[in-house]
Amino acid sequence: MSALPDLDQIRDAAARIAPYAVVTPVLRSARLDALAGAELHFKCENLQRGGAFKFRGACNAVWSLDDEQAARGVVTHSSGNHGNALAMAAATRGITAHVVVPAGAVRAKVDAIEQAGAVLHRCGPTQAAREAMSAEVQRQTGAEMVHPYADPRVMAGQGTLVLELLRQVEGIDALITPLGGGGLAAGCAIAAHGLKPELAMFGAEPAGADDIAQSLARGARIESFHPDTICDGLRALVGEPNFEALRTHRTQVITVSDEEVVAAMKLLWRELKLVIEPSSATVLAAVLKQPEHFAGRRVGLVLTGGNVDLDALPW
Is-above-0.85 flag for pTM? yes
Q: Per-residue pLDDT tens for 86-118?
A: 999 999 999 999 999 998 887 878 888 999 999
Statement: residue 182 has pLDDT above 90: yes
pLDDT on residue 126? 84
Q: How many CA atoms lie within 13 A of 126 on its CB side?
A: 6
Q: Per-residue pLDDT tens for 49-60?
A: 999 999 999 999
Q: From CA 256, how far away is CA 290, in angstroms rounded?
A: 10
pLDDT, average across residues 137-158: 96
* Amino acid sitting at position 244: E
Query: How many other CB atoms are there within 10 angstroms of residue 76's CB atom?
Result: 28
pLDDT on residue 309? 81
Contact present, 199 and 193 (Cβ < 8 Å): yes
pLDDT on residue 224? 86
> What residues contact residue 10 under an 8 Å CB cut-off, 6+ apart?
156, 159, 160, 162, 163, 187, 190, 191, 194
Domains belonging to the chain, first-starting first, are 7-53+151-312 (3.40.50.1100), 55-145 (3.40.50.1100)
pLDDT on residue 1? 55
Statement: residue 310 has pLDDT above 90: no
pLDDT on residue 122? 94
Whole-angstrom distance between the N-terminal and C-terminal Cα of the chain? 44
Lowest mean pLDDT among 8-12, 199-203, 296-300, 308-312: 308-312
pLDDT on residue 240? 94
> What residues contact residue 267 under an 8 Å CB cut-off, 6+ apart?
32, 35, 284
pLDDT, average across residues 146-174: 97
Beta bridge partners of 256: 206
Statement: residue 125 has pLDDT above 90: no
